[in-house]
Amino acid sequence: MGRLSPLGRDGALTKTIQKILVANRGEIARRIMRTCRKMGIATVAVYSDADAEMPFVDEADEAIRLGPAPSAESYLRIDKILEAAAATNSDAIHPGYGFLSENGAFAEACGQAGVIFIGPTPDAIRSMGSKREAKALVEKAGVPVIPGYDGSNQDPKVLAEEAIKIGFPVLLKASSGGGGKGMKRVRQASELPDAIASAAREGQSSFGDATLLVEKYIDDPRHVEIQILGDSHGNLIHLNERECSIQRRHQKIIEETPSTALDPALRNRMGEAAVRCGKAIGYSNAGTVEFILAPDRSFYFLEVNTRLQVEHPVTECVTGLDLVEEQIRVAQGEVLRTAQEAVRFEGAAIEVRLYA
């Protein structure tokens, strides 16, 4: 298990991680292992039967089979992952992205098992997992939110009345949703009954939660997200933006930085708003605050992704930072090594996703 290290800059005792179990597969598993090798940290891969011959399995120092191919029987099995961590004496787990990366129960179970979860606290994950709760929290912190209805009364008649009050077009969103699921754009009142039923049905089937939000639909918006990074000592910085406006069915295709839509003043305002979001929930580790940017240059909170993003290399390319390394250092109790004013941004970067 990990050994105790010298005091950090603020006098806090840190614990050096010796072995990390990577609770993921494919590209992100290999990405995490690359940084672990650089840091001299041993790695454990876990895999399903379908992935037994994949490169990430061979590249790890140890590998443990989780179960059959279906994710529900392998990569989503918290009990089997923790059993693998115990069997290999892993002192930390990196969840990657997807699967259990934004599962508060998993983060909590890791802590109860004495294993470091490389990510934010269970409370932070849970608070941002509900769009209703997240919106209320950040609004209290002075972050602009899209006008809308997020009340507990989910009667379809009430939702329809609130939509009419807000004014068309409106966007119906599953409260626990993501990835474009449970989202319906409505341009006139006659479309509401079917749209409400459909969005609630998608929310229930995909996320186990039929609760809906009703928001003013912003025409011709840009999707701009801000990378944040915090430690457990109250320090939190932002690493500027990634623009993800080119999407298909609300799923990102191209991510780039810097955004041509932002000037220095707007960039600073959005960065400061993202930091306020993080501090409002006591955020630590890496995360992303997503905003909608309207044509009039006003911006509104969308959500917080409480994990490492698929597109994190875009930020790494222009900052020179290894975000996985920073995640590991924060998880073992270190103070952030970079102050906000010391972050440097050079060049431009772009990432393109292939959907097949």
The amino acid sitting at 171 is L
Helix axes 122-129, 104-112, angle to 10 degrees: 170
Q: In b/e form, how buried is each residue of 56-90, taking b as 16+ CB within 10 angstroms?
A: bbebbebbbbbbeeebeebbbbbebbbebbeebeb
User: Of the listed 77, 126, 242, 307, which one is catalytic?
Assistant: 307
Residues 6+ apart with CB under 8 A from 52: 65
Angle of helix 323-331 versus helix 26-39 axis, rounded to 10: 70
> 307 an active-site residue?
yes
- Tell me which residues are annotated as active site: 307
